[in-house]
Chains A and B, each alone.
Chain A
Amino acid sequence: MIQMKQVYKKYSNGIMAANGFDVNIQQGEFVYVVGPSGAGKTTFIKMMYREEKPTKGTILINDVDIATLKAKRVPYLRRNIGVVFQDFKLLNQLTVYENIAFALEVIEEHPKTIKKRAMEVLDLVGLKHKARMMPDELSGGEQQRISIARSIANQPKIMIADEPTGNLDPETSWEIMNLFEEINARGTTIIMATHNREIVNTIRHRVIAIENGLIVRDEQRGEYGYEG
């Protein structure tokens, strides 16, 4: 369902972040993207929801080439992709519930659907009882769970996570991983860039290793493979 063919990306400062990515990801897969900092992981991920546009090549998502997708159509692509970040990207002036409702409001969902879906996903991440609290009253792990809840509120087929456990302590990280496992078990494709060796080596999934803008390793049930 996600297919990259000979994807190149050259930034305006001359850096080549992608030197011909070729990859195929099936619906329902769980994929770790690993590699040293600055190797091209983030570019790899950002091109999938068109935050970055490849310089050359095709990226097919459900048979639509998003490399050449018109800017006008990008919002509709993103409605099928949930994104989660290291820094959560929550709005601190809104309550937990409002943060999730906001994401549904801006894609013009019906108010009834918004209420129902927001409570559903809060329940799923186990934070229904904190719906009225403000994000900064919650722990980092809880905030990340809110941002995950937000990303799946629109029931996307694909979930992209960029270092989702980067700011969390080990114990909390495992909680987040359990949540990802659960979401993946419901059929959502998950692509997760990470530096967390322990997680990758414990919860085994496909591993794509990127170095110098190239996929140097692609193994089912692979290992992290880097020191530290």
Chain B
Amino acid sequence: MVMKARTISRHFRESFKSLIRNGWMTFASVSAVTVTLLLVGVFTALMLNMNKAATDIENDVEMNVYIEIEADEVSVSALEDQITDLSGVESVTYSSKEEELSSLIDSFGDEMALFEQNNPLRDKFIVKATDPRQTERLASQITTIENIAAVEYGEDKIDQLFETLEVSRNVGAVLIFGLLFTAMFLISNTIKITIVARRREIEIMKLVGASNWFVRFPFLLEGIWLGIIGAILPIAVVSVLYYNVYEFMEPRLENSFIQILEFTPFIYQINALILLMGVVIGMWGSFMSVRKFLKV
């Protein structure tokens, strides 16, 4: 579809005229898009950060593999090799009971020094899986190895976390979908009113031989404008909000293994997403309503 410059400028003119002419409907659908994109924007920002947190947590899942007290040094190093050779193991770190105790003394104070005479702790390996979801499988494999006393990890906590994430992700998706649909419906209605008001014009255009694209184009543009105008406020709000949240959270999370997503490029990505969604629902909404009227 090659379009002449003056045709394009005509389409732009027509689409702006129509926005102004249908002032109240324009306002209504822009408001709908604004509310939708605002919720979608805030929710998406939240979801993406939760995902990030989940990944951070997942990556930090470790197993404590306790070694039988009877095992001698030779078999300990053999054990280490054996665990390292298992598929899906990222790292194996040996930590003797003396090291364990000194780290306990470090964190809980000198009272712990009492145990130096009779150390109740056990030698262990700290094992990390390449894929944290494989932790459970690895744990059961390691348990069967000779000279391993026990394997411990926060099994319940991890499962729960995964489950919560899954549920909130699904609920969010349904919510976003519903909102997008509503906004699309409103845009489609606005365009429909425009079209009904200009039915005669379209009929004549069709009768004298205007191409379908020529008729359709101004309405598509009108839909896009509705989407873009509706995206302005959400972009501003999400940017300011995220800036403040980031300024607040970032120093507090400095020493934690969980990190909030960096302000840039994240803010550009989410704003581009909001704008894109505005354009798409605007275009789609108008496309839906023009289709019927083109059959003259």
- From A51, A71, A79, A151, give the contact of B212 (CB < 8 A): A71
Is the CB–CB distance between A78 and B296 below 8 Å?
A: no
Is the CB–CB distance between B212 and A106 below 8 Å?
A: no
Give chain B residues whose Cβ lies under 8 Å from the Cβ of A71.
212
Is A150 an interface residue when CB atoms closer than 8 A count as contact?
A: yes
Q: How far is the CA of A77 from the CA of B211 in the complex (A)?
A: 11
Q: How far is the CA of A154 from the CA of B209 in the complex (A)?
A: 10
Would A75 and B200 be within 8 Å (CB), given that A106-B205, A108-B4, A108-B7 are in contact? no
| Interface residue ranges of A41-55 to B (CB < 8 Å) | 49, 51
Q: How far is the CA of A91 from the CA of B7 in the complex (A)?
A: 20
Q: How large is the interface on A (under 10, 10 to 19, 20 to 34, 35 or more residues)?
A: 20 to 34
A-B contact count (CB 8 A): 47
Is A102 an interface residue when CB atoms closer than 8 A count as contact?
A: yes
Is B159 an interface residue when CB atoms closer than 8 A count as contact?
A: no
Q: What does DSSP make chain B's interface, helix, strand, loop or mixed?
A: helix
Is the CB–CB distance between B4 and A106 below 8 Å?
A: no
Q: How far is the CA of A150 from the CA of B296 in the complex (A)?
A: 19
Least Cβ–Cβ distance between A197 and chain B, in angstroms: 28
Give chain B residues whose Cβ lies under 8 Å from the Cβ of A108.
4, 7, 214
Is the CB–CB distance between B214 and A51 below 8 Å?
A: no
Interface centre among B4, B10, B205 (most CB of A within 10 A): B205
- From B208, B210, B211, give the contact of A150 (CB < 8 A): B208
Is B157 an interface residue when CB atoms closer than 8 A count as contact?
A: no
Closest A residue, CB atoms, query B296:
A51
0 or 1 for each of B196-216: is its CB under 8 Å from A? (1 = yes): 000011011111111110100
Is the CB–CB distance between B10 and A105 below 8 Å?
A: yes
Interface centre among A49, A91, A102, A106 (most CB of B within 10 A): A106
Q: What does DSSP make chain A's interface, helix, strand, loop or mixed?
A: helix
Is the CB–CB distance between B214 and A106 below 8 Å?
A: yes
Least Cβ–Cβ distance between B129 and chain A, in angstroms: 58
Closest B residue, CB atoms, query A80:
B209
Q: How far is the CA of A147 from the CA of B12 in the complex (A)?
A: 27
Is the CB–CB distance between A78 and B208 below 8 Å?
A: yes
Is the CB–CB distance between A79 and B209 below 8 Å?
A: yes
| Interface residue ranges of A62-105 to B (CB < 8 Å) | 71-72, 75-79, 83, 89, 91, 102-103, 105
Least Cβ–Cβ distance between A161 and chain B, in angstroms: 13
Is A133 an interface residue when CB atoms closer than 8 A count as contact?
A: no
Q: How far is the CA of A83 from the CA of B121 in the complex (A)?
A: 98
Give chain A residues whose Cβ lies under 8 Å from the Cβ of B209.
75-79, 106-107, 154
Is A126 an interface residue when CB atoms closer than 8 A count as contact?
A: no
Is the CB–CB distance between A75 and B204 below 8 Å?
A: no
0 or 1 for each of B157-175: is its CB under 8 Å from A? (1 = yes): 0000000000000000000
Give chain A residues whose Cβ lies under 8 Å from the Cβ of B204.
89, 91, 102-103
Closest B residue, CB atoms, query A104:
B208
Least Cβ–Cβ distance between A62 and chain B, in angstroms: 15
Q: How far is the CA of A107 from the CA of B211 in the complex (A)?
A: 7
Q: How far is the CA of A154 from the CA of B211 in the complex (A)?
A: 15
| Interface residue ranges of B113-128 to A (CB < 8 Å) | none
Is A225 an interface residue when CB atoms closer than 8 A count as contact?
A: no
Is A187 an interface residue when CB atoms closer than 8 A count as contact?
A: no
Give chain A residues whose Cβ lies under 8 Å from the Cβ of B252.
none
Give chain B residues whose Cβ lies under 8 Å from the Cβ of A72.
211-212
Q: How far is the CA of A106 from the CA of B14 in the complex (A)?
A: 12
Is A38 an interface residue when CB atoms closer than 8 A count as contact?
A: no
Is the CB–CB distance between B208 and A107 below 8 Å?
A: yes
Would A106 and B200 be within 8 Å (CB), given that A51-B296, A111-B6 are in contact? no
Give the 6 A-B CB pairs with smallest separation, nearest first: A78-B209, A79-B209, A106-B210, A103-B208, A75-B209, A75-B211
A sample of 23 cross-chain residue pairs with beta-carbon separation below 8 angstroms, ordered by A number, consists of A71-B212, A72-B211, A75-B206, A75-B209, A75-B211, A75-B212, A89-B203, A91-B200, A91-B201, A91-B204, A102-B204, A103-B204, A103-B208, A105-B10, A106-B205, A106-B209, A107-B208, A108-B4, A108-B7, A150-B208, A151-B208, A154-B208, A154-B209
